[in-house]
Amino acid sequence: IGYRGIDTASMYGNEAGVGRAIRASGVPRERVFVTTKAWNNEQGYDAAIRAFDASLERLGMDYVDLYLVHWPVPGKYKETYRALETLYEQGKTRAIGVSNFLIHHLEDLMGACRIKPMVNQVEFHPLLTQKKLLMFCRKEGIQVESWRPLMQGRLELPLLTELAAKYGKTAAQGVIRWHLQHGVVTIPKSTREERIAENADVFDFELEPEDMNRIDALNEERRFG
């Protein structure tokens, strides 16, 4: 269908399958952007190095494109991130970053790290717009990436239905487009082929500024994850 960004993690238990699927696809490795993550029980400097090597072996690859600290485990995330800096300098990962970090976590980390996080992957969607965090990351040059972008399919909101009809798209396509126009990388998940194709078909329309603002106004600080 054309997807080239693959997001996995040691905690998902599917790295080996992801690696097999990429090899079977026939798409050259350098054309695929692979992200994986260090889970909470893999944190600390030495543990994160070991966890990365294990992930790489399961994936059957000699590098990943992005390696993330999955959650900010208190007392450990700075040492974990130091391991990521080492892996980056060794060329084993093309980029490093964090996931689920709030502003105070980022400030704490940036006070100690040598390489600023390149990505912060967080829950982000119309009911959780994280405006302060988004503005902070923009100011610091940290790319925000959204997990749970489609709110686990909870898309039956009157405004989203109205806008889908207006643009001749589905509610899911409207929400993905909203992410992209905010400059947020999005990783929608589906097990259904037709939905996977639909989620990628979002580059032939643009939401008007007032409609972007109306979707922003749906924010309830509501987390699904």
Task: Give me the catalytic one of 12, 45, 81, 88.
Answer: 12
Distances (CA, A) of 113 to 2, 9, 50, 145, 172: 36, 23, 20, 21, 37
Contact between 143 and 133 under an 8 Å Cβ cutoff? The reply is no
Q: Determine the Cα–Cα distance for residues 64 and 29; give it in Å rounded to an integer.
A: 10
Identify the DSSP state of 87.
H
Q: Determine the Cα–Cα distance for residues 155 and 136; give it in Å rounded to an integer.
A: 28
Contact between 218 and 157 under an 8 Å Cβ cutoff? The reply is yes
Contact between 148 and 125 under an 8 Å Cβ cutoff? The reply is yes
Contact between 52 and 83 under an 8 Å Cβ cutoff? The reply is yes
Would residue 12 show up in a list of annotated catalytic residues for this protein?
Answer: yes
Task: Check residue 3 and give left, alpha or beta (phi > 0: left; psi -120 to 50: alpha).
Answer: beta
Task: Measure the CA dihedral 211/215/216/220, to 10°.
Answer: 160
Count the Cβ atoms, other than its own, within 10 Å of residue 127: 17
Which residue numbers are catalytic?
Answer: 12
